[in-house]
Amino acid sequence: MSHYSATVSWRRNGEVFTDNRYSRGHEWSFDGGVTFRASSSPQVVPRFSDPAGVDPEEAFVASLASCHMLTFLSLAASKKYRVDSYIDKAEGIVAKNPKGKLAMVEVVLRPKIVFSGEQHPSPEALKELHHRAHEECFIANSVTTDVRCEPVL
């Protein structure tokens, strides 16, 4: 079993607060010492969000894409496929779920991978690598969102 943590910090900076007109900007800090500017999504709270901050919806999409990529890279290396680059322009969709609640209902991964060396996966082998990466990604296994992978060839 592994344990993971993050520190989420927000402070009222002189705002009244009780009028609901306060900054949604805050910080995420992680055990390695990295701190990110975070905020609510400007699409959710337009006036009081910090568009420069990473919002939870973006982080959710990035977490799924990152887990898929790391799993894929490990599987590709075990098959002796040399990966030179992996770029995923992943997207998530927030909409009402079947219960009528707003939720991240879909995440689409669009990885574009460049291979080099003597061995390159066939289209079928590439599809199988992505399938296995999805099946083994524990972040994807932790959510009910429909997570699809549409590799860019």
pLDDT category at 113 given cuts 50, 70, 90 is: very high
pLDDT at 12: 95
**Does the pLDDT of residue 136 top 90, yes or no?**
yes
pLDDT category at 145 given cuts 50, 70, 90 is: confident
The reported pTM is 0.90
What residues have CB less than 8 Å from 26, skipping those under 6 apart?
8, 9, 10, 38, 39, 53
Domains and CATH numbers, the chain: 1-54 (no CATH), 56-149 (3.30.300.20)
**Does the pLDDT of residue 95 top 90, yes or no?**
yes
